[in-house]
Amino acid sequence: MARHIATHCIGLAGAVIFLWLHLPLPWLFGPLSGCLIAALSGVRLSTVKLLSDSMRTILGVAAGSTVTIGFVMAIPSLWDTLIFIPLMVVAIGVLGVWYFQKLCGYDFPTAYYASMPGGLQDMLVFGEEAGGNIRAMSLIHATRVLVIVVLLPILLTSLWQVELDRPPGSPARSFEIDQLATLGVCAIAGWKIAAHFGMFGATILGPLLLTAAASITGILQTRPPAEAIWAAQYFIALGIGVKYVGITAEEIRNDVAAGLGFCVLLLLLTLGVVGFVVQFDLAPAVEAVLSLAPGGQAELVVMALIVGADMGFVVAHHLFRIFIIILGAPILARFMRAKPLH
């Protein structure tokens, strides 16, 4: 209990400092900065998994509430950008295995599942079953997500002059009670139903699918309030920070450094593909970046909400990426084991 209280005190202090200094994304970068500094200083931080998972459902609801009949009918027309998702997954897998095995000395399961751009928990499950080093994979994935969360806003503001200070939604006081209740039911029921059936990413995908159904049928006619999105940002920040609790100097030199090096390769690959997409006018630059960046779905959904991007477009690409990785990652792993890189 003391660790949980200390974690929230540090996270809230970081948010307050960022708000006081009028720095961007105070509910994301404030807690993230505070928890990272504390974790790297040896403070024992901890979060309540049930509470953190429940906050992630907000992002599923936010994404699902943008789904309409028109969006569903338009999905086939997105093929010219969706096709890049499997191509990038394969390229990242091949590049990652080469980098982590040949340059960093990891075994194949660790190298492969550390490089896959899927959800942290899903990749750790796959990687542990395959015999990978779960601590190394956790730190590498946490570093990838951390870099994306920090770097994306910088890229979006410097290259495309995106504003980060707009509210991510309307205030809760402006909502009808029945709509708030519907949002809550979709969040909790969607999560629990998805978890019951063993769905990967149940905290986001379950609420997303149930909310999408409510939106399409007209039962739900709004997105979550701004306060809910800020709460989701706060808990995402805490979740990233606590991944570094107990980290040793050797892990920083090996796992974190390896993760940072891989992020450079991912950045070059992503910018190359985004440049191609924008050059041929296949999608707007901001939507292309948020759709093709190999980050966690939760973090990129948050970014899309913050910058006011086309949520339907972004969500469609990340759902497709999850589908490709969950079904294809084990198959690609077997193929690459049979044909090792030289």
225, pLDDT greater than 70: yes
Span 22-49, pLDDT tens digits:
888 899 999 999 999 999 999 999 988 8
341, pLDDT greater than 60: no
Sequence length of the chain is 342
pLDDT of residue 342: 54
Tell me which residue range forms the domain holding 91.
2-338
- What is the distance between the alpha carbons of residues 201 and 205, in angstroms, rounded to a whole number? 6
Please provide the average confidence, as pLDDT, over all residues in the chain. Answer: 91
User: With bands split at pLDDT 50, 70 and 90, how would you rate the model's confidence at 340?
Assistant: low
Which CATH number does the domain housing residue 119 bear? 1.20.1530
SS3 at position 11: helix
Considering the entire predicted model, what is its pTM?
0.87
Which pairs with CB-CB distance under 8 Å and at least 24 residues apart come from 6-10?
6/43, 6/44, 6/45, 7/35, 7/45, 7/46, 7/47, 7/238, 7/241, 7/242, 8/238, 10/34, 10/35, 10/38, 10/43, 10/45
How many structural domains does the chain have?
1
